[in-house]
């Protein structure tokens, strides 16, 4: 068995110089971003294909705007109180609910000349751990003195990671790091690395752990899976490589003994990957020996649930009730079938009062009460209250910027369900159209189409299409109706609806550089 030292690094296509051993030796596992839960199938097909990380994928912080000339901000005169939203060097990972998913990817090599890959058959097991680092002995005085020092170092890290060129020399980086070290030594500040230790079902705690434990790993681990390339694909990025990948957890139901969630959006985390050799030769299944650790990944934080960039990745539609349809249903059904949602109020808790003729309160809702409501009624009232109080809250608290978070689009023009059914029966074609033909989209095209649908389609179809009306010059025959319906559907439905893939940018494929 090969007894050479192993090195667990980042995948070759993410090295500073793809495929060059000197670059690979100093690399670390990387995150790869995807827009759907089918990421594993995408990765297995082509490991390099993943979404680009952009400025939105950085944790931002609010701080005063720097001095500028001319003194403007967002097209308006600058004020001393103006705040800006600035990116930091910390990676931000969005949540599953934001329609973003992540893999951590690493590659295993023999640490000898040529940096060859390790034979996968020599690996007993593979996995990774999620850790956090906490700062001890931090005081207000230390924060006041150290904050500007840490900001300079953070600015350097952002420039190096997302800038087109290096903005500082290596010597300047050493100077900034030495300043941080002197500050930490002055106040006795220490950083502890912690891992999550499971105590029971859904219960655990963060405890201090060793950076690279050689024996049993006491913290919770997650599996790494081998990438086995398709042998029929000669250009597969995993061909001839020993690459492992794992699904990054961005949420968990686990809590500590006090009910605090394991993961939150205020803590910084990192991941370390590991592989174990077989203990004996020939390999004995399940008998693992030496553990080889990677460098930690870049530090990351989880996005808040209501992160604007994250929630924008997955628009959610809620259909409001149709008042006309509700009125018709209410007239046709008995009352006891229209209110399935019950609210039971215990005594003195029904929040209702009664008053006499002089306006004096005679009863504070002391009796218990059971009321039933129709769900559409609750929705209508909630929507009305939202629209009623939205401008009041904006004005009262000066939250006018939140109006930018409201976006309305005109509805698309579509045929009503009944009209579409008549059209399908008359033409014997499968047109997939729905909703309302008389919707006004507020455009000339929309008005013209509305008029044509109401007049031409209504008159011709009802009176003649059931008996088959051929296309004729100047008329609106079956073929013209079908083409028009398609154009209405495409122009209204597709252009008005927000695109879920409009902002997706993928990493470019790279090829291994020629070894020097």
Assigned domain for 412 exists: no
Q: Is 309 exposed, middle or buried (0-12, 13-18, 19+ CB in 10 A)?
A: middle
Residue 270 resides in a domain: yes
List alpha helices for 28-102, DSSP H: 39-45
Cα(488)–Cα(504) distance, integer angstroms: 27
Which residue range is the domain that position 162 belongs to? Answer: 138-188
CA distances (Å), origin 177, targets 129, 157, 159, 231, 317: 27, 11, 15, 47, 49
* In a shared domain, residues 100 and 223: yes
Burial 87-106 (b: 16+ CB within 10 A, else e): bbbbbbbbbebbbbbbbbbb
Q: Are residues 422 and 397 in the same domain?
A: no
Contact 257, 198 (CB under 8 A): no
Q: What is the DSSP letter of 117?
A: B
pLDDT of residue 443: 39
Structure tokens belonging to residue 469: 């009306």
Helix 140-162 vs helix 170-187: crossing angle, to nearest 10: 160
What element of type H or E holds 136? strand 123-136
Domain boundary among 257, 279, 311: 311
Residues 303 and 331 in one domain: no
Residues 235 and 374 in one domain: no
What token pair was written down for 466?
């059931």
Q: What is the CA radius of gyration of the chain?
A: 32
- Tokens coding 330: 């209410």
Kindly state whether residue 69 falls inside one of the protein's structural domains: no
CA distance 58 to 38: 24
286 plus 266 within the same structural domain: yes
Say whether both 422 and 291 belong to one domain: no
Per-residue pLDDT of the chain (516 residues; tens, 9 = 90+): 457 899 999 999 999 999 899 999 999 999 999 998 899 999 999 999 999 999 899 998 877 766 654 455 555 555 544 667 788 888 999 999 999 999 999 999 999 999 999 999 999 999 999 999 888 777 788 888 887 877 777 666 555 544 444 544 567 777 878 888 888 888 888 788 999 999 989 999 999 999 999 888 999 999 999 999 999 999 999 999 999 999 999 999 999 989 899 999 989 999 999 999 987 676 777 678 889 999 999 999 999 998 888 888 887 777 788 888 877 877 777 766 667 777 777 776 666 777 777 777 767 666 667 777 777 788 888 888 888 888 888 788 777 777 766 766 665 555 445 555 555 555 544 434 333 333 333 333 334 434 443 444 344 433 443 344 344 344 444 444 444 444 433 434 444 455 556 578 899 899 877 543
Q: Which residue has the tokens 């990745």?
A: 313
**Residue 131 to residue 318: CA distance in whole angstroms:** 39
């Amino acid at each position: 068995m090969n007894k050479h030292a192993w090195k667990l690094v980042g995948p070759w296509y993410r090295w500073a110089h793809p495929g060059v051993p000197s670059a690979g030796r100093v690399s670390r596992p990387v995150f790869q971003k995807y827009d759907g839960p089918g990421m594993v199938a995408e990765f297995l097909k082509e490991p390099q294909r993943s979404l680009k990380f952009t400025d939105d994928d950085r944790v931002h912080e609010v701080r005063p705007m720097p001095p500028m000339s001319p003194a403007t901000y967002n097209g308006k005169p600058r004020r001393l109180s103006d705040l800006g939203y600035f990116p930091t060097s910390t990676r931000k990972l969005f949540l599953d609910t934001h329609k973003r998913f992540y893999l951590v990817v690493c590659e295993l090599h023999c640490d000898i000349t040529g940096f060859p890959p390790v034979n996968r058959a020599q690996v007993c097991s593979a996995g990774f751990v999620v850790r956090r680092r906490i700062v001890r002995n931090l005081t207000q005085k230390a924060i006041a003195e150290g904050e500007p020092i840490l900001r300079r170092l953070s600015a350097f890290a952002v420039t190096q990671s997302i800038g087109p060129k290096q903005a500082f020399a290596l010597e300047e980086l050493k100077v900034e790091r030495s300043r941080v070290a002197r500050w930490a030594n002055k106040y006795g500040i220490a950083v502890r690395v912690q891992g999550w230790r499971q105590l029971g079902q859904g219960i655990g705690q963060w405890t201090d752990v060793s950076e690279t434990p050689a024996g049993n790993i006491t913290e919770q681990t997650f599996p790494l899976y081998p990438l086995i390339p398709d042998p029929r694909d000669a250009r597969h990025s995993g061909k001839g490589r020993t690459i492992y990948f794992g699904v990054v957890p961005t949420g968990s139901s686990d809590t500590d003994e006090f009910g605090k969630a394991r993961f939150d959006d205020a803590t910084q985390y990192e991941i370390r990957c590991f592989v174990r050799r077989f203990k004996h030769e020939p390999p004995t299944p399940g008998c693992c020996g030496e553990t080889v650790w990677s460098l930690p990944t870049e530090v990351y934080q989880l996005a808040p649930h209501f992160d604007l960039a994250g929630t924008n990745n997955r628009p959610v539609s809620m259909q409001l009730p149709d008042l006309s349809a509700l009125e018709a249903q209410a007239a046709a059904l008995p009352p006891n079938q229209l209110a399935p949602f019950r609210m039971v109020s215990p005594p003195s808790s029904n929040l209702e009062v009664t008053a006499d003729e002089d306006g004096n309160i005679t009863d504070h809702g002391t009796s218990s009460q059971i009321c039933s409501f129709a769900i559409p009624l609750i929705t209508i009232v909630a929507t009305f209250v939202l629209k009623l109080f939205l401008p009041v809250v904006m004005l009262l608290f000066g939250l006018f910027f939140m109006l930018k978070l409201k976006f309305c689009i005109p509805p698309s023009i579509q045929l009503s369900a009944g009209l579409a059914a008549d059209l399908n029966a008359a033409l014997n074609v499968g047109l997939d159209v729905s909703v309302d033909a008389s919707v006004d989209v507020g455009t000339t095209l929309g008005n013209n189409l509305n008029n044509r649908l109401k007049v031409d389609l209504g008159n011709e179809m009802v009176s003649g299409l059931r008996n088959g009306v051929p296309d004729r010059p100047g008329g609106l025959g079956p073929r013209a109706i079908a083409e028009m319906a398609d154009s209405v559907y495409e122009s209204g439905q597709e252009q008005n609806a927000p695109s879920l893939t409009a902002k997706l940018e993928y990493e470019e494929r790279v090829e291994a550089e020629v070894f020097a």
